[in-house]
Amino acid sequence: MSTPILELNDVSVDFDGFFALTDLSISLEHGELRSIIGPNGA
């Protein structure tokens, strides 16, 4: 396993009290693609 080019730990995002993300942790290595898709597919 190589060293991640991006690593996020315990990230939360809210919009006026509506939490879009809660405690997200993710690491991204070179060449990987990731996405965050909501309940409606957006």
Q: Is 6 left (phi over 0), alpha (psi -120 to 50) or beta?
A: beta
Instruction: Map the chain to HEC letters.
Output: CCCCCEEEEEEEEEECCEEEEEEEEEEECCCCCCCCCCCCCC
pLDDT for position 1: 66
Does the predicted model carry a pTM greater than 0.85?
no
pLDDT for position 41: 84
**Contact criterion met (CB below 8 Å) for 2 and 19:** no
pLDDT tier at 42 (50, 70, 90 boundaries)? confident
Q: What is the pLDDT of residues 2-25, one digit of tens each?
A: 899 999 999 999 999 999 889 999
Domain boundaries, the chain: 1-29
Phi, psi at 14, each rounded to 5°:
-135, 150
